[in-house]
Structures are given as structure tokens and as C-alpha cells.
Structure 1
Amino acid sequence: MKKVITYGTYDLLHYGHIALLERAKALGDYLIVGVTSDAFDKNRGKLNVQQSVVERIEAVKKTGLADEIIIEEYEGQKISDIKKYNVDIFAIGSDWQGKFDYLNEYCQVVYLKRTEGVSSTALRETQNPIVKIGLVGLANPTERIIQESLYVSGMEITAAYNSHVAEASAICEKYNIELYSDLENMLQNVDAVYINSLLPEHVTLIEKALNNECHVLCESPIFMNKSDADRLFDLAEKKQKILFEAIKTIFFPAFEHLMLIVNSGTIGSIRDIEVSCSHIPEDLNEIKNEKYKGSMYDWGSIALIPIIKILGTEYEYCTMFDYEKAGFNYFVRGLLKYKNATAVFKVGKGIKTEGQMIITGTKGYIYVPAPWWKTDYFEIRYEDLRSTKKYFYRYEGEGFRYELLEFIKMINQNRRESYLYSQKEIKSIVGIIEQFEKEEVEKLNS
């Protein structure tokens, strides 16, 4: 029996894909189709895929052309698959001409002519009009977000609102973005907004955006209390708009894989999590009197994400120790007690600690080196250190493109929630922020 193997993303499966599969099928007796995983697509910078790997596999299956479907998860897998399945022919579209000649050492390589005039990119553009996004506030890291947005298809940052127009004009001119001095006017000319302003302004800005029929992506922490969270998520539902918190860490390929490994039970039942985040600004004197730039507001949501996602939202209590000086929150150490586990988080601004994460299980533990919130690498360690497994998942740029991509997908697919970060999880973290805001903490003043 002559075996043929081919690979693809197969996003928004169209007749061009089907024609290519038919040509590959005709080359032999048994066709194996490799479908790229979501993480693999992200790893190689393919950020415009609209459908999940499950949806794409199902679409290929429905063609009836594949005798077997496998998932492509990493660079170099093709050689392994060719050997594993005893493949005779590797078939791929002619737009890859010459790219896979190295596989001739293992099997015959055939480049198949593609159907002209159709592509997944063209279909995405037809089905999903470009989402026009307006920026609200131009403080750090707005310029990096603008740069990262250029790598995400289906969106364009077209406008910006800033109360201090003079300060914002340079960045807007640099990126050809229209600058507005009136927020209401800008909201009428965009489909969505990215809010990057001080925390006390979030509620008013989000409410205005939703009432002007705009989707909202807002910097963390998104709210200071659960009542605001409940009210504005309800408003978003009523308006049929997306309201989402911008935390890029959640969408890094390595973090996604980390969550899958934890949930698989590889290290057993989780009994403890230790998370640290800190940094020392170049000039702390410029911000030390601004309460909402303190460590808990700066780092709290990020540090709590892995705890809430792994151990859940139903913690029994949270105890926090707050170190302040002249009203500025420099350092917080928090302890969350669950029925069968504990978690410790440390956040610092103007104080430095090792920014690592350790997830302790009954069979082993996961070590994520600093800075864990931008990780592309982690290890699973066991009693026998020779059994240590190392994982590396590259990410592109600074990671903002991944959260922007998820936001655009939610808009296009009309999803109120992300598969990776639910409203329940957001509200749980807001509850801890609210506890800190109400000063239900033990003070460690200097």
C-alpha cells in the first residue's frame, strides 16, 4: 500500500483545500493529513487562524478524503511522522516549492499545483471586515501595542483619544493615527477601543464605550470592585459587545501549554503555587505618590492569573500583607487558602524579588524561571532529577499581538468570553483587588 502524507492549517476549509487533498489522495492508496495545532501556528507567527484545531480537524474529516488525521505540533515533526507511518510520498502545495526538498532523503516529495483565486486569507477578509480600533490613553506600553498590532490581521488602529493632545500628537503622527480631543467623537468612528488609563477612570470609559456600541479591551486590573464588574459585564451582554481584560501572559504559547500540562495530571494533584512579580522603575520618585501605580495595581492581576486558573475561583480566604511608604504600595505578600491547596503571591514595585513560578504537585513540580509572565521555557521536575523534562515555546515580539488576536477572534466569532480567561476568573481576581482597595490587609508601614 502506497502511503501519502500532507500538512496544512485548513482554516476556513475551502474548495482550494479540497482540490489539494484530492490531488494528494490520487498519488497513493492511503492519505494521512497533518493539521497544525493552535500552539504550533502561534509559535511560527501564524496569528490569523480563525478556527480552533478541533474545528479544523472536523472540517477535514467531513471531506472524506483523509484516511487518517494527525496533529502537527512542532518544528521537525515531518521527518518523525514519515518514519513512524512508513510514508512513501510527501505532498504539499506548489507555493512551498523547494522548501521541503530535504525530505527526499526519506520519501518522494511532490509539489502540487494550488487552485488559484482562493485563499483562507481572502475568505477571512470577506467574512470579517477590518475592526477599527481607537486607543484611549497613550501611556506606556501604547506604542509597543501599536507596533504589535501590525502583525494581527483583521484589525487596524485608526484613532486615539488623549486629554493632553500636545503630548499625544507625536506618536499619532508617527503611526498615522487620527488624534481626537473629544472621546464621544472618537467612539462614533471606531468599532472597538483599547483602554490604557489609570484604574479609577476605567468604569467611566468602559461604560461610555459600550453605550457607543464599541467593543472594549482594557488594561489590567480592569475593575476595582465586583459590583462594577457585574454591572458592566451585564451592560456588555445587553449591548452584544465584547468586554475583556488585556493580560498578554495568558495567551503566550508556553503559558497555554503549561495550563494543559497542569490539567493533564502530569505532576499529580496541585498542592501549592508560588508566584512572584516585581521590578524597580528607573525613577520611582515620579510615581511614588500615585496610589494606582503601586505594586498591587501594577502586578496583582498578573500574579493571580495562574493561581485562579489552576486552583479555581473558590478559595476559602485571602490574607495579604501590605508594605507601604508615604501612601505608596511597594510590596504585597498574599496567601490564598483552598480546601486542599495553598498559594502565595508576591508583587513588588521598588522592591526586587526573583520573578519565578513554582507549581507543586504530588508527583512532581513545574519550575518557570524569571520572568515567568513572559516565559518561553519551563521545566517539569521529579524526585529523580534525571527525569526532568524541558519545554520551550517561542513567542513573537513582546506578546501583545496574542491578546489582540484573541480580542479580534472574540469579536468575529461573537464570543462574550475567551476560552482561556473567563468572566468568572476575571471577577474572582477583581474580588481580591477589591479586598486590597478596601484595606482589608495587614499593614507593614516603614
Structure 2
Amino acid sequence: MRDGKTVVITYGTYDLLHYGHTALLERARALGDYLIVGVTSDAFDRSRGKLNVHQNLSDRLQAVVATGLVDEVIVEEYQGQKISDIKKYGVDIFAIGSDWEGKFDYLNNYCKVVYLPRTQGVSSTELRAERMKPITVGCIGSGYLTDRFIDECTHVAGVDVASVWPKPEATGIPVAEDLDAMLEAVDAVYISASIEKHREYIEAALRANCHVLCESPLFLNSKDMDELYALADERELVLMEALKTRYFPAFDHLKLMLESGLVGEVKDIDASFSHVFDELDKSDVYQGSFYDMASYICLPAISFLGTEYLDAQFVCSFENDFCVWTKCNLLYPHASATLKVGRGIKTEGDMVITGTKGYIYVPAPWWKTDYFEVRNEDLRNTKKYYYECVGQGQRYEAFEFVRLISQNPSDRIPLHTREEVRAVTELVERFHSGDVATLGCGPYVFGGGEKVDDR
């Protein structure tokens, strides 16, 4: 008890808060004198594979407070937090809806567990279905990314992949007669094509009043970015970059931990991302390192250090005109970042975030983040964090795409901002202009002068 008061705690997502939620809170309130409500975070929902939540955390917290039934609101962020909260807040009664009957009996070791009857005839799932009509999607492009996207969309409510174009590589999906025919028949498109084709396909889709989810990087230059975002705004359409790592639960938690000062002030980020595969076509320069992977390799710096870097320097290695290796050094007022990316070349693929109180280590492949460690001077005090990432990851970006489409244009607040897209676009534009230092080819020369031929 707290000061002689009986403390009650309950948890929920409280998406599209309705009278069923309110009735449950009233029943929980009647059990004691002080009611604490835990609202699940966006990242926690995604980590549990709950990808149909319509409102963001801030909106859901405000809705719970607005009921006037709650004494304290907290955020539920991880599995196992309930026991910690019960101990922390001196809880006497844990209350939850009867549809969870038996699932939380283990909490009887810490407090009394009460299952409350649900109000019949209403649910957030039904309300979401009423508010969100299915979105028909067409896929432009082919290859493994398109195949993965189609498979991942089967796990996202409200998405129906109806057609592909131009190649019939996706089994079971009809092939559109041509691009115009596809655009007439769908609400949105997913684009997996080389960056030099993005302008053409994005503009065609927007002019056909289709929302756009396009693989990264979105643009070759700032002019294309400004014109296409202006067109999307004019037609009240979503134009979103497909950057799955940004929407992973672990990446969200990592960002929150850094913002909380867990390792002090971030001073440096060192990350690498490389890929060796047989299908690489080195006659297509746009499959090269920075053209193809700029958004991913820049994501940690842009997300954790911001978009206002002071200077950027490129060091590149080319095979003919194909860039196999790029090292991008970003200088900020109080920090730096070294970002290394390769196509047809291999390096570790991990990430180290250096802070004044410690550092965070994300093992390879960091861009599939589900685990990281927080370390300090005494490695015996290392803390390990794991947040499950289900599937290949595209379902998280697909869900964000659907969420934005379902909102009124004036209410759309993307997790990945236009300022972040612009920061990467300006780097791509600089790389494209040839403002880079180029490494030569040939034998390595060691200290003694001995030459070892490349093999």
C-alpha cells in the first residue's frame, strides 16, 4: 500500500480509446484508491509483432489521461517490466481484461491478480478495420527485395499486393500489362529499382494519385527531392523511403537510450556495411557502394548525431567506374562519424557508438539490429539488450507506410523525417558530382619495401 491507499495497476495499448477501454479503467479504479496505467510503447508493440496500432504513443498517453480516471501513467517498454513496476510502485492489485484469463497468474507471487470482464461489442481491432480500408499495392521492379516485401506484407493488416511490373518473378502475383495499367488499379506502389530510375517512377505514381514507398536512397539530387515532395504535398500523398532498419524495435530502443544519456554525450560513431554476392553487375555504376547503400550507412549518424554536419569527406575505391568501397567521414560541432560501405568487398559490419560515459557495441550485421551491448571501463558491468525482430524486417516499414496513409495529411508525422532524407540526398549529390578522393589500385607496399601482388 502507498500511504494507506490500495494501489492498482493495469496495462494496455489503448489504441483508438473507446468506451470499452473506459469501462475497464472504471472497473480497475473501483478496486482501490490509486490507479496506475501502463501504456505500451510503439517500440514494444512492434517488438511483439503488433503492427496494427493506429495511434502513436503520445496520442495514446493523452487519451488515457483525458479519461480523468488515472492517477499515474507510465510507459511499458519491455518484456518483464510488469514485475519490476509492481515492486517499484508498491502495487497491491494487478488488473487486466478477462480475455487474458490465466496468462498473468504468475504475478500472484507479487500482488493480487484480478481479471476484469470486458465490455462486449467493441474493440480497437474493429474500429481500426472501420477506419482503415485495405490499401492495394503494386510492386515496381523485381528481385529479392520485391519478393521479400510481398511476403512480409502478408503479415501487415490492410495491405493487399495486387500486381507486379515489369517482371513476373513474384510467384502468385498478377503481372500488370504496363506501368500505366498498374497505376490505374492500385492505391500505392512499392518501388525497388536503381536510383537513376526513381525520379521517373515516383513522379508517374504521384501523378496517378498513388502513395509511394521507394527503396533507398530516394533521390540523386536535391532538385528531384524538392519537386517530388512538393508534388506529393500538393496531392496529399505519402512519399516514403523504404529504410527498414529505422523501424526495427531495437533501433528505436537504441535511439531512446542514447537520448537518455546512457553513455553520456556521443562523440563518435563508427559503422560499416558491406555485401558480396554473385548477382552484382559491376557494369551498372548505380549498383555501386554509395549509390545503393547511402541511406543505410548514414542512418546511425543522421539519427543519433543529427542532420547538421559541418563537413563531409569521401574516400572511394573504384573498379573502372564502379565504386566498390566508400568511406564517408562526417564532422559535427561536437562529434564525428566514420561510415564505411562496400559492394563486392567485405568488412566486419559492426557498429561502435562512443560516449563520454561508455560505449555501445552493435555486432554485425548492425543494420539488422536486434541485439546490442552497453559497455564501460569495467567490461564485467556490460549490459546486454535484445529486442526481437520478426521476419525479414520489411513488415515494419510497410506498417509505417500504411499508418501514414491512414492518417489525415495534416496529422502525418513520419518517424524518418524529410530533413534526414535531405541530409543523405546532399551526400549522394556530392558523391555523384565526383567530389571524392580516389584510392589507387595495385600491389600493397609494406614497411620493408616488400611488394605483395594482389591475388
Structures share fold, TM-score greater than 0.5:
yes
* Contact kept? 1:160, 1:172, Cα under 8 Å: no
Partner of 1:171: 170
Q: Secondary structure at the match of 1:358?
A: strand
Q: Does 1:371 align with 2:370?
A: no
Please list, as runs of the form range in 1=range in 2, the aligned pairs for 1:95-106 lying within 5 A after superposition: 95-106=99-110
Name which of structure 1's ranges 370-379 and 103-112 shifts more when overlaid on structure 2.
103-112
1:44 aligns with 2:40: no
Structural mapping, 1:69-148, within 5 Å? 69-148=73-152
2:314 is aligned to 320
* 1:87, distance to aligned residue in structure 2 (A): 2.5
2:234 match: secondary structure:
helix
Change (3 A) 1:83 1:319: closer
Aligned to 1:259: 255
Output the CA distance in 1 between the equivalents of 2:279 and 2:407: 43
Which residue in the other structure is 1:438 paired with? 433
In the TM superposition, residue 101 of structure 1 has moved relative to its aligned partner by 1.7
Distance 1:314 1:76, change over 3 A: closer
How far apart are 1:11 and its partner, in Å? 0.5
TM-score by length of 1: 0.93
Q: Which residue is equivalent to 1:34?
A: 38
Whether 1:227 aligns to 2:226 is: no
Number of residue pairs aligned between Structure 1 and Structure 2: 436
Secondary structure in 1 matching 2:299: helix
Q: 2:20 maps to what in 1?
A: 16
> Deviations along 1:300-331, whole A, 9 cap, x unmatched?
21001111222222222222121111322111
| Structure 1 counterpart of 2:384 | 390
Q: Return the match for 1:182 from 178, 182, 203.
A: 178
Question: SS at 1:141's partner residue?
Answer: helix
Retained in 2: the 8 A contact 1:325–1:445? no
383-392 vs 51-60, greater mean Cα deviation: 383-392
Matching residue within 305, 309, 317 for 2:299? 305
Partner SS, residue 237 of structure 1: helix
- The Cα shift of 1:415 comes to 4.8
For 2:189, the aligned partner's letter is: V
Do the aligned partners of residues 314 and 3 (structure 1) sit closer, same or farther apart at CA in structure 2, a change above 3 Å counting? closer
Structure 1 Cα separation of the partners of residues 104 and 265 of structure 2? 43
* In 2, Cα distance between equivalents of 1:333 and 1:143: 30
Letter of the 1:49 counterpart? V
- Aligned in 2, Cα 1:30/1:271: closer, same or farther, shift over 3 Å? closer
* Map of 1:348 onto structure 2: 342
Q: Give the match's secondary structure for 2:50.
A: coil
Q: Which residue of 1 aligns with 2:285?
A: 291
The alignment partner of 1:178 has SS state of: coil
Question: What residue is the counterpart of 1:413 in the other structure?
Answer: 407
Shift in Å at residue 297 of structure 1? Answer: 2.0
The CA RMSD over aligned residues, in Å, is 1.7
**Partner secondary structure for residue 171 of structure 1:** coil
Structure 1: which amino acid aligns with 2:318?
E
Rounded to whole Å, the distance in 1 between the matches of 2:348 and 2:413 is 30
Q: Give the gaps of 5 or more residues in structure 1.
A: none
Task: Provide the rounded CA distance (Å) in 1 between the counterparts of 2:204 and 2:182.
Answer: 11
Q: 2:72 corresponds to which residue?
A: 68
Ranges in structure 2 where 5+ consecutive residues have no aligned partner: 442-455
The CA distance in 2 between the partners of 1:205 and 1:51, in whole Å, is 30
Q: Is the 8 A contact 2:218 2:241 kept in 1?
A: yes
What is the rounded CA distance, in whole Å, between the counterparts of 2:42 and 2:343 in structure 1? 35
- Kindly provide the amino acid, as one letter, of the partner of residue 240 in structure 1: E
What is the alpha-carbon distance in structure 2 between the residues aligned to residue 29 and residue 37 of structure 1?
26
Could you report, residue by residue, the CA deviation over 1:156-188 in whole angstroms, capped at 9, with x for unpaired residues? 2122221x4xxx1x5242xxx332121112111
Q: 1:59 aligned to 2:63?
A: yes
User: Take 1:313 and 1:70, find their aligned partners in 2: how far apart are those partners?
Assistant: 31
Does the alignment pair 1:425 with 2:420? Answer: yes
- In structure 1, how many angstroms separate the alpha carbons of the residues matched to 2:89 and 2:438? 63
Structure 2 CA distance for aligned equivalents of residues 413 and 398 of structure 1: 26
Rounded Cα–Cα distance in structure 1 between residues aligned with 2:354 and 2:84? 33
Q: Per-residue deviation at 1:154? A: 2.3
SS in 2 for 1:179: coil
**Amino acid of the structure 2 residue aligned with 1:263:** E
Q: What letter is aligned with 1:78?
A: K
1:271 and 2:270 are equivalent in the alignment: no
- Shift in Å at residue 388 of structure 1? 2.6
How far 1:148 moved relative to its partner?
1.0
Amino acid at match of 1:382: N
> What percentage of aligned pairs have identical amino acids?
53
Q: In structure 1, what is the equivalent of residue 453 of structure 2? A: none
CA distance in 2 between partners of 1:216 and 1:203 (Å): 12
Q: Residues 159 and 269 of structure 1: is their aligned pair in 2 closer, same or farther, counting only changes over 3 Å?
A: same
For the residue of structure 1 that corresponds to 2:28, the secondary structure is: helix
Contact persistence 1:294–1:349 (CA under 8 A): yes
SS at match of 2:15: coil
Aligned to 1:361: 355
C-alpha distance 274-28 of structure 1, shift in aligned 2 (>3 A): same
TM-score (norm 2): 0.92
After TM superposition, where is structure 1 displaced by more than 6 Å over at least 4 residues in a row?
none
How far is 1:283 from its partner? 4.8
Aligned to 2:326: 332
Residue 255 of structure 1, CA deviation: 0.9
Instruction: Return the alpha-carbon distance in structure 2 between the equivalents of residues 53 and 323 of structure 1.
Output: 44
